[in-house]
Amino acid sequence: MATNFWTSTHLKELLEQEEVDVVHNLDKQRGITLDDFKLIKLQMTNYIARLAQNVKVRQRVVATAVTYMRRVYTKRSMTEYDPRLLAPSCLYLAAKSEESTVQARLLVFYIKKIYPDERYRCEIKEILEMEMKILEALNYYLVVFHPYRSLPQLLQDAGMSDAIQLTWGIVNDTYRMDLILIHPPYLIGLACIYVASVLNEKDNTAWFEDLRVDMNVVKNIAMEILDFYDKQRTISDERVNAAMHKLGLRK
């Protein structure tokens, strides 16, 4: 990890799980449960990733965009900040702040292309307005750290260089949860390596013990990741649609 993480706003802004798992009152009134809330955020994560694939931006941009989106929903309601507009707008802002600008019209074009559903449609103007609102909701904190950068080095050090694709994929999947809002990225990275070692049946106990980190935290994060993979199987499109339907926004 870059040394400045320790003095960063990212570190200062980390939250507790209980603070993240709060459904906004306005959303509650529409019948949104905590499960729905998580499902919609998951759906929007997938949306951002898919859109990003089309406009061709780095994984880091996707990760930052998802982090922005999740941070916004710790402070604002889905009722006021329609996820189907917030998600692409977060990608738009993240691309800028990660120095790989994507034009808003390009996003609008691909949204139309990949989601023929009317309710996903948005205009350039709406994205730009939302950009400003996101900045406010984020309190203008834009620097986000991710586990990616240190991953190859850590894996090499652990003698697991062959598992880089697997681990990288697991890190990508952690953005489907709120882990990045709660834990420092290096611990998330280590948890992903831990999960990868379990999946590869590689015993890395000694390597982990040599690290000066709290292994309980790493193991807890790893458990959450594995739990998520288990639950993931039960998620159906119907459930997602039902949750989105409760919001019943736009048109």
Largest CA distance in the chain: 57
Query: In the set 17, 29, 103, 232, which binds other proteins (CB under 8 A)?
Result: 103
164-223: contacts with other proteins (CB under 8 A): 164-165, 168
**DSSP3 helix / strand / coil % (the chain, rounded to 5):** 70, 0, 30
**Residue 75 CB neighbour total at 10 angstroms:** 13
- Joined tokens for residue 145: 């750290």
Which residues, including other chains, have CB under 8 Å from residue 5's CB and lie 6 or more apart? 11, 145, 184, 185, 186
Kindly state the smallest distance separating residue 89's Cβ from other proteins, in Å.
Answer: 9
Closest CA to 80 of 89, 71, 72, 88: 72
Query: In the set 22, 142, 198, 240, which binds other proteins (CB under 8 A)?
Result: 142
Query: In the set 28, 58, 202, 246, which binds other proteins (CB under 8 A)?
Result: 58
Query: In the set 26, 56, 109, 223, which binds other proteins (CB under 8 A)?
Result: 56
Query: In the set 33, 101, 232, 241, which binds other proteins (CB under 8 A)?
Result: 101
Which listed range, 28-36, 40-48, 124-132, 198-206, lies at the site for other proteins (CB under 8 A)?
Answer: 124-132
Radius of gyration of the chain (CA): 18
CA atoms within 13 A on the CB side of 43: 23
**Residue 31 CB neighbour total at 10 angstroms:** 12
- Joined tokens for residue 221: 């994060």
Amino acid at 120: Y
5-24: contacts with other proteins (CB under 8 A): 7-9
# residues near other proteins by CB under 8 A: 41
Kindly state the smallest distance separating residue 143's Cβ from other proteins, in Å.
Answer: 5
Helices and strands per DSSP (H, E), number in the chain: 15, 0
Kindly state the smallest distance separating residue 144's Cβ from other proteins, in Å.
Answer: 10
136 binds other proteins (CB under 8 A): yes
Query: In the set 40, 86, 127, 222, which binds other proteins (CB under 8 A)?
Result: 127
Distance (Å, whole) CA 66 – CA 159: 30
Query: In the set 41, 76, 84, 146, which binds other proteins (CB under 8 A)?
Result: 146
123 binds other proteins (CB under 8 A): no
Q: Which residues bind other proteins (CB under 8 A)?
A: 2-4, 7-9, 56-60, 92-93, 96-101, 103-105, 124-125, 127-128, 131-132, 135-136, 140-143, 146, 148-149, 152, 164-165, 168
